[in-house]
Each structure stands twice: as structure tokens, then as C-alpha cells.
Amino acid sequence: MKQVVINAGSAKIVDVPAPFVDSKSILVSVDYSCISVGTEMKSVQLSAMPLYKRALKQPDNVRKVLQSIKDNGLAATVAKVKGKLDFGSPSGYSAAGRVVAVGAEVSGFSVGDAVACAGAGIANHAEVINVPVNLAVKIPAGVDQLSASTVTLGAIAMQGVRRFNPLLGETVVVLGMGILGAITTQILKANGCQVIAVDVNDQRLKYAQTIGADVVLNPLKGEYDEKVRHYTDGYGADGVIITAASPSDVIVHQSALATRRKGRIVLVGDVGLGLRREDFYQKEIDFLISCSYGPGRYDPYYEMEGHDYPLPYVRWTENRNMSAYLSLISQGKIEIPGDNVFGIDEVKQAYQALGQGETSPLAAFLTYPRSEEERLQSSVALLNPVREGMRLAIVGASSFTQSVHLPNITRIKECGIHAVMSRTGTTATAIAQQYQATYATTDYEKILTDDKVDAVLISSPHNLHASQVLKALEAGKATFVEKPLATTHTQLQQIKNFFKERKSFPLLMTGFNRRFSPVMVMLKQHLKERQTPLIINYRMNAGFIPKDHWVQTHEGAGRNIGEACHIYDIFSYLTGSRPLSISAHAVGPNSEQWVKNDNFVATIRYEDGSVATLTYTSQGSKIFPKERMDLYVDGKVYYMDDYKKLEKYETKKQELYTASSPDKGHKEEMKAFISCFTQGREWPISLEDQVLATHISLCVEDQIQKDKI
């Protein structure tokens, strides 16, 4: 399908695989999408800047890059960032179209419904979009799809007005008469307010008059706050809603001057916030921020999982704001200028029209003329040659895989990336192009039925691992799956049953990389001739992750199953024995920010007499090393420090291994997987060990959740 991305200061069309519908989403064939002057033109301008200037404007992204360099190394981070920059980023966040598929858990929508959709990264400028249910609403009768495609902007304006809480007859200044300001003006008029429209663009002020603004003012033609006071009998406006975009701090200052005592200012746009205390103190003005579309925004449980807020307690969610906005259009109380419509193939002209300064329109609209059959292509051929050696398909392009696995795989000549599959077509295509794959797809079945695919690397959300592993094995594909292998006992049993019921089967390897690290390989050699059981104390200072992070949800299954499984594998690797008993106790959370499987101690007793203990915590300091281990055996102590150092203490201290940065064995595990397949070697990790580490993690989880203080 066709989709718009922003790259190097301009918009371009790329061919990407169409998405598949998720269980809690609807699939929408787009008829119109809206390009706004403010947000999207800002993205275009930002993409044209040199990297150092973009870094100054996006300090959060810089911090992420620096952390990635620390965790994964400079080369891997540069490769990941370069791939994203070369391909471009998806654009668009407001669209309308027709439902073509409905997820298994969705109610209230049917194929053929006309819907309006919202969400950055969701309601893209694309022929087909996959939309979570709370970010879509049905279009009322009498509302055309072009007008409905502004639903995101309408919800933003609606939430700004709700934050202002206008009363009948109040006088409100709307500062900034772009598309947001124009919609805000009409909503206020529908509320029975007097509206003073303010903008530096006379053309926009003329339009404001046609949609009902009572007074229009240009601050370049005199102090507009004085004129506001004159219009309001010297008191000042009841308040100001700022819909402008400017780095200037003067905008808020002038808004305060134009506001009466005990009035209020609501910020909807993006302006400088060098606030002056006296502006607000002397008049006791309330300053409020409006959060995008309304309650539910940035809440993954609401937006992605589809959990609604009860109407009696949260009257206006972002979804209900979207519906209310469309209702106002259907009543004829809001009109949308629709004279700047472009076909998707004319996207460059559309963006150019919005970049004409004072003469630019409030918005532009893209249309999508191709048939549904043409749009719904689930794969994109990139015309790269079929690889020699092991042909690998990437299933689920996680950030970790992009930063670690893919750069490592490119250094192994016996293997090549044949295909990339991701739920997001742009991600799949960008990575496939970067690593010269033969094709990109959003369809897992295409990977499984492709006889040229020898092996798959699965790095999708944790809750999907087991089912995807089973499908890959049943299709005869060698399978590397990032940990965990399974997130429930039932899933693990299904995998065990697969191997029980067959005499021959493909290779399976779970990404328990730490056993391939130099320190663990060396330590295993030192323990080869041991005479006594082991006592192992492993400490993981894991760091805090919020409760709403995907790792903590059912997708990630929590940090014990999702990360501590690495350490249970280390225990099995070093002892070479099976567990006799497993016990675990969690720290009783004294705050809602903690979860039980964030802070716990697990102890495993083994058949050979060894005892291994994991202390896993998110309560520690960030500056303390993440992983340390003490191992006691035969009158010796081995000390491992964060995979950078291994020391032995016997009659004297001996440094066995030192490195400048952690090496947790990622490259060596991938070499082992590929060598096993290409050279027919023994499995790098036995099936028994893979199942055992997963079983321990599930048993520990059971005890953590049942543990009572």
C-alpha cells in the first residue's frame, strides 16, 4: 500500500505492506486524511535540520541515543538511527474511511461502517490503517468524510474548550486562528460565547469573521490587549484559549494582560512558557494546560487495550470528544474549509501549499483513489537477490533486535536477512531496505509458507512468543526466539508436547545469551572439576520501570518471566543439575508504583546439593552496577561484576577476565545458532535447559503472586 513519510525536509510516498487487524482494533481503508499546518509542517521543518540542530530541539531523543550507546555500543546505535533517518518517519494523525476488517474482541463496529480515526502513528496518511477501538468513532449521517477526517483536531479543540469551561455569555479570546483556532471559535459560538479572534495573519482573521468571530484583532497593528479591554468595558476577557504555535514567551504574557481578574488561560497550542509571576499573581488568573484529545490520551490501557472509562465518572474521554465534535458538524454548527484536496500522489504539492506562509490554507486533505484490492497487499518486494547460506526472517522488529541482533547478524557471512515481518509496514520496510532483505511483510503466514526461509528470529511481544514458535516449528523453520520461551504453563506444555509427538523436528533456541558471555564460558571451565555443590548469590539491580510500561502488562508478562529467566538459565548452566525445590518471596509493595515481580528473592535447590539465589530489585540506585554474582565452591570464591570482570579468590586474588564494557554473549549466541543450522552441530542450548529455565520462572511467578506478607 501507499503511505506518506517525512524525510529530509519533504514528504514522500513509500510502498509498504498493509497492516493486519489486531484483536482489539479495526482495519480502515482510508478515504480522506487531514494535513494540519502546525504539527505536521513542524515535523517537515525538523527533518530538514542538521542532526546537531535536531538534537538541541529533541533532548529526550538524545538521552535515548546515549543510553543505547551505553547499552549496545556506538556502531549498533549508529546503524539503528541511520536506518530510521534514511527511510523517514510516518506522518498523519487524523483520517476517515471505511471499516474493512474487525478484530476478534471488537464490538460496536461492522465491516462497511464509515469511521473517523485519530492518533499519531495510527491514523497515518496511508491507504489502510489499523486503529484501536477507542481511537475510532462512527461518522453520523449527513457528515461528509472530508470534514470527518479533521476529527483529531476537533477533539483537541473540544478538550481545550472543556478545560476552559465556558459559561453562557462569556467573552473568550482565541489566540491563533489556524485550523485549531477556527474550530475552537465555532465550538465557543455554539456554547453561546462572544469570541475575539487574534492572529497576525489578516487572511485568517477574515475567515474568522465568516465563521462567527465577533471581533478580530491583529497584534501587529497595536496592543491587542488594550482593544480587548475596550471591547469588554475595561474588565478584560473572561479568558484566553491559546491555539497558536510559537517559541515566544510574549504570547502568554499578552494573554494575561487581556484577561480580567480571576479569569483563566488555557494552553492548547505550543508556545514559550517563560511565565511571569506578576501576570498571574496580581489578577489571580488560572493557567491550565489542555492534554490533546482529552482523558485517555497517553494511557495505553485506554488507547491500545480498549478499556473505556465509565461515563458517570469520566464524562468526556477522547473518544467521546471525537463523537461530540462530529455531532456538531452534523448539526451545522461547525464548517470545515475543504477546497485544498490532493490525491496521495500529489502529497508534495499538498505540503508545499501548506508552507506558503501567510497565504497557506488552514489545512489540506489527501484522497486515496486506488481500489481496496490494490491497497491490501501484505508484502513488498525489494528486488534484492535471494541470499546464499542460511536465509533468516525477522519476525517482530523490536528495538533490541534492531540495536543488537541485526548488526551482529550482518557480521556473520553464513547468514543473510531474507525477509522482515512487523505489525507496522513502515518499520518492516525500513529495516528490510537497510539490511537488503528480499521483501518486507506484515503477514506472519507469508514467512511460514515461504520455502526460501530457512529460519526465523522471533522478537515480538512476549505473550506472542509461544504461539509463534509453535507455528514456525510446525512449518519446519529453525527458530530463534528471544526470551521468554513462554509466559504461561499451558504455553510451555504445548511446546513440550510438540517435541514429544515427533521423532524429528527443527532447531529451537531461546535467547538465553548470558551463558555465551566470556565470563560465564570461562567460569564454566573453572567449575569442570569441582568437588562440592555450588552456592550462588546473583544480584540484579534492574532499575525502575513504570507499571504501565509494556513489560509490566500481559504483553511482557512482568520482569520475572521476561528478564529473570536469564538468570535461572545461568543457574542451570553452571550447576548442570535439575532443581529439587523452588521458593520465592516478594517485597510487599508499600506504594502503587511497585509491582510484586519487581522486587523479590528466589531460591532454587538442586539435585547435586547446590543452592542458587537471585535477588531481583527495581529499588536500587542507577549508578550501581546492574548485575553481580558471587559463587562459592571448593574453598574458592568467584566474583562476576556486570559481565566486565571475573575474579577468583583462593589463596590470593586473581583477575580472570576484564573488559571495558559488558559482553553478555549476544554475538556468540547468534553465531552458535547459525553454526548449528549450517554445520549440523549439537543444539547450543538443550531443549531440557530451555524448558527448565522457563519452568522455573513460571513457578517463581506463581509463588510471588501468591506470597502474602
Q: Do domains 153-289 and 379-510 have the same CATH topology?
A: yes
Kindly list the strands in the beta sheet with 627-633, ordered across the sheet, starting from the edge strand earlier in the chain.
579-586, 600-606, 611-617, 535-541, 627-633, 636-641, 645-649, 653-658
DSSP codes joined into one string, 87-104: H-EE---EEEEEEEEE-T
Residue range 426-450: average pLDDT? 94
Q: What is the dihedral of CA 369, 373, 375, 377, to 10 degrees?
A: -160
Report domain extents, the chain. Answer: 2-62+88-150+336-369, 153-289, 379-510, 514-706
> Looking at residue 62, what is its pLDDT?
60
Nearest Cα residue to 393 out of 441, 455, 460, 436 = 455
What is the arithmetic mean of pLDDT over 549-572?
94
CATH number of 2-62+88-150+336-369: 3.90.180.10
Q: Tell me: the pLDDT tens digits for 442-487?
A: 999 999 999 999 999 999 999 999 999 999 999 999 999 999 999 9
HSE on the CB side for 276, CA within 13 Å?
Answer: 14
Q: Under CATH, which number does the domain 514-706 receive?
A: 3.30.360.10
Assigned fold of 379-510 = Rossmann fold (3.40.50)
In the predicted structure, residue 54 carries a pLDDT above the cut 60: no
Q: Phi, psi (5° rounding) for residue 573? A: -65, -45
Cβ–Cβ < 8 Å for 96, 117? yes
What is the model's pLDDT at position 146? 97
Neighbours of 16 (CB within 10 A): 30
Better pLDDT: 305 or 477:
477
Count H helices and E strands in the chain, helices first: 26, 33
Question: Rounded to an integer, what distance in angstroms lies between the CA atom of residue 578 and that of residue 109?
Answer: 52
Please give the single-letter amino acid code of residue 40: E
Q: Is residue 52 scored above 50 in pLDDT?
A: no
- Top pLDDT among 248 and 41 is at 248
Helices 518-526 & 565-575 angle (0-180, nearest 10) = 30
Which residues face 646 on adjacent strands? 640, 657
Query: Directed axis angle between helix 179-190 and helix 37-47, to 10°?
Result: 160
pLDDT at position 252 over 50: yes
Question: How far lies 635's CA from each of 216, 524, 535, 578, 645, in Å?
Answer: 87, 16, 11, 23, 20
E runs forming strands in 478-557: 478-481, 508-510, 535-541
> 359-363, 635-639, 652-656: which has the minimum mean pLDDT?
359-363
Output the pLDDT for position 378.
85
DSSP SS3 for 527: coil
CATH number corresponding to 153-289: 3.40.50.720
Question: For 527-665, where are the alpha helices, taking DSSP H only?
Answer: 559, 565-575
- The position carrying cell 462512527 is 138
Q: pLDDT tens digit string along 111-146?
A: 999 999 999 999 999 999 999 999 999 999 999 999
| pLDDT average, residue stretch 339-368 | 88
The pLDDT mean for the chain works out to 91
